[in-house]
């Protein structure tokens, strides 16, 4: 494993309109934890809520510093899910801590905060958030939004309604559908992804992304050192009126001797996009699918599965060739980019044909249970279901065309 180098810079500004700063941010170089919180609830409440969230999550993650270091060494039995759960639980617990403090002080009643966090451990980044503070990934000079705003306006957009033409959009500008401090626990969206050398992360409050705008966010994203990027974001927010507190952290990740791993990650994502079910997924959801897939190696002459066997896995060929066998005879050959077994992700049915490797094969494997774990995540489920519908529709058209050709064939004498 190559040595990881993380550089970062952060800055917060009260803005031009507000009199006090309810944003807070935390940078912990020991654990490579980065958090931005945007408090709501009035002059003192917002400040207190964001401070509590940063300190609580920071302390909980710091308490697990030894586990994080062991995980990062690559020699640990701790898996990615455990690290993700650590961050997720810390943020959820912060909600109860904020609520408890508010109950003890009348002047803090109703305080709440957003939270957007990035935890870098080993070759992985873990992103967690509640509210409308955001985390972006800049990869190969392209910016990807990794989080989805928990806001009324975003819910309107997801339902196909135009917030600019809706009385709800005007009346509830900035209203959140999720925040820390509302309940004793919070629903936290979590994403983990494999790092590539040159990755840049941007964590910011809505005082930055709302004032700067997506086009300018993208324009600034890949340029300059982290300090320059931070200053450009804050200065642009202020030049655009500075209507809200503005906070941003920019993090760059470099790793020595990581080119081979970068090639594997790109190959995995490209293979997934070759399938209609995943082709139109946004980048964060494609990363989620990649996270439940694994690469396998199969020797020449290996029977991947037999005809009529009950299927539970999708295979995507990365390298090598396989033969499709039906009734004991080979009816087709598949090579890199091809896939088979996708229907088994939907239901456990007998395979319509068998598969035997004709050379050494490298493949991507997605198992049904892992796929269903994605369908249980609200943020990804609807997009995956639309992908399944597109896949089934394509199969139906193909079958219909084949039947039409068969019916128009002249009878055999």
Higher-pLDDT residue of 333 and 403 is 333
Q: Give the rounded percent of residues in the chain with a pLDDT score beyond 90.
A: 63
Dihedrals φ, ψ of 129, to 5°?
-155, 155
Tally of domains within the chain = 2
Question: d(Cα 78, Cα 81) in Å, to the nearest integer?
Answer: 8
- Judgement on whether residues 164 and 311 belong to the same structural domain of the protein: no
Q: What pLDDT band is residue 401 in, cutting at 50, 70 and 90? A: low
Higher-pLDDT residue of 158 and 186 is 186
pLDDT in tens, 356-395: 999 999 999 999 998 888 887 777 777 777 777 766 666 6
Q: Tell me, what CATH number does 379's domain have?
A: 2.60.120.10
Position 182 in a domain: yes
Q: In what order do the strands lie in the sheet with 200-204?
A: 4-13, 246-255, 200-204, 134-139, 142-145
Q: Tell me, what CATH number does 23's domain have?
A: 3.60.40.10
Kindly calculate the radius of gyration of the chain based on its CA atoms and give it in whole angstroms. 25
Question: d(Cα 337, Cα 158) in Å, to the nearest integer?
Answer: 32
- Judgement on whether residues 362 and 392 belong to the same structural domain of the protein: yes
- Judgement on whether residues 230 and 300 belong to the same structural domain of the protein: no
Question: d(Cα 275, Cα 37) in Å, to the nearest integer?
Answer: 38
Higher-pLDDT residue of 153 and 165 is 153
Check pLDDT > 90 for residue 100: yes
pLDDT in tens, 268-287: 999 998 888 888 888 998 99
Q: Show Cβ contacts of residue 90 under 8 Å, excluding neighbours closer than 6 positions.
A: 56, 57, 60, 61
Which pairs from 234-239 meet CB under 8 Å and 24+ separation?
234/11, 234/13, 234/208, 236/211, 236/212, 237/13, 237/15, 237/207, 237/208, 237/211, 237/212, 238/13, 238/15, 238/16
- Residue ending a domain, among 257, 280, 303, is 257
Residue 52: what pLDDT? Answer: 97
Q: For residue 296, how many other CB atoms are within 10 A of its CB? A: 14
- Residue ending a domain, among 238, 257, 276, is 257
- Residue ending a domain, among 206, 241, 257, is 257
Higher-pLDDT residue of 259 and 130 is 130
pLDDT in tens, 293-303: 999 999 999 99
Question: Which structural domain range is residue 339 located in?
Answer: 261-406
pLDDT in tens, 62-99: 999 999 999 988 777 788 999 999 999 999 999 999 99
Check pLDDT > 70 for residue 409: no
- Judgement on whether residues 80 and 125 belong to the same structural domain of the protein: yes
Q: What pLDDT band is residue 103 in, cutting at 50, 70 and 90? A: very high
Q: For residue 301, how many other CB atoms are within 10 A of its CB? A: 10
pLDDT in tens, 21-33: 999 999 999 999 9
- Judgement on whether residues 29 and 141 belong to the same structural domain of the protein: yes
- Judgement on whether residues 353 and 397 belong to the same structural domain of the protein: yes
Tell me the mean pLDDT in the region 165-179.
69
């Amino acid at each position: 494993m190559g040595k990881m180098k993380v550089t970062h810079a952060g800055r917060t500004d009260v803005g031009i309109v507000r009199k006090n700063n309810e944003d807070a941010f935390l940078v912990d170089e020991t654990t490579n934890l980065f958090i931005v919180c945007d408090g709501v609830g009035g002059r003192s409440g917002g400040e207190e809520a964001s401070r509590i969230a940063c300190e609580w999550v920071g302390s909980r993650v710091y308490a697990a510093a030894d586990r994080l270091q062991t995980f990062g060494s690559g020699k640990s039995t701790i898996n990615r899910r455990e690290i993700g759960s650590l961050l997720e639980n810390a943020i959820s617990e912060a909600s109860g801590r904020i609520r408890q403090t508010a109950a003890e002080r009348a002047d803090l009643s109703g305080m709440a905060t957003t939270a957007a966090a990035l935890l870098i451990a080993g070759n992985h980044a873990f992103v967690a958030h509640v509210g409308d503070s955001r985390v972006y990934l800049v990869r190969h000079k392209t910016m990807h939004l990794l989080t989805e705003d928990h806001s009324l306006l975003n819910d309107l957009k997801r339902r196909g309604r135009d917030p600019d033409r809706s009385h709800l959009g005007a009346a509830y500008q900035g209203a959140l559908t999720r925040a820390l401090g509302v309940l004793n626990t919070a629903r936290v969206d979590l994403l983990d992804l494999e790092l590539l050398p040159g990755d840049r992360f941007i964590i910011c409050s809505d005082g930055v992304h709302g004032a700067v705008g997506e086009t300018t966010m993208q324009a600034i994203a890949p340029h300059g050192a982290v300090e320059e990027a931070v200053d450009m974001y804050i200065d642009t927010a202020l030049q655009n009126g500075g209507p809200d507190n503005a906070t941003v952290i920019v993090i760059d990740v470099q790793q020595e001797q990581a080119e081979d791993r970068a090639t594997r990650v790109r190959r995995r994502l490209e293979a997934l996009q070759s399938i209609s079910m995943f082709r139109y997924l946004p980048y964060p959801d494609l990363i989620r699918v990649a996270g439940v897939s694994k690469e396998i190696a199969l020797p020449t002459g290996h029977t991947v599965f037999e005809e009529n066997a009950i299927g539970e896995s999708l295979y995507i060929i990365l390298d090598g060739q396989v033969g499709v066998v039906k009734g004991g005879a080979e009816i087709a050959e598949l090579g890199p980019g091809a896939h088979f077994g996708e229907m088994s992700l939907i239901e456990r049915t007998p395979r319509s044909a068998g598969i035997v490797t004709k050379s050494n094969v490298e493949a991507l494997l997605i198992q049904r249970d892992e796929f269903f774990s994605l369908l249980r995540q609200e943020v990804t489920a609807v997009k995956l279901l639309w992908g399944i519908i597109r896949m089934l529709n394509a199969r139906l058209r193909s079958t219909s065309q084949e039947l039409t050709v068969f019916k128009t064939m002249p009878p055999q004498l």
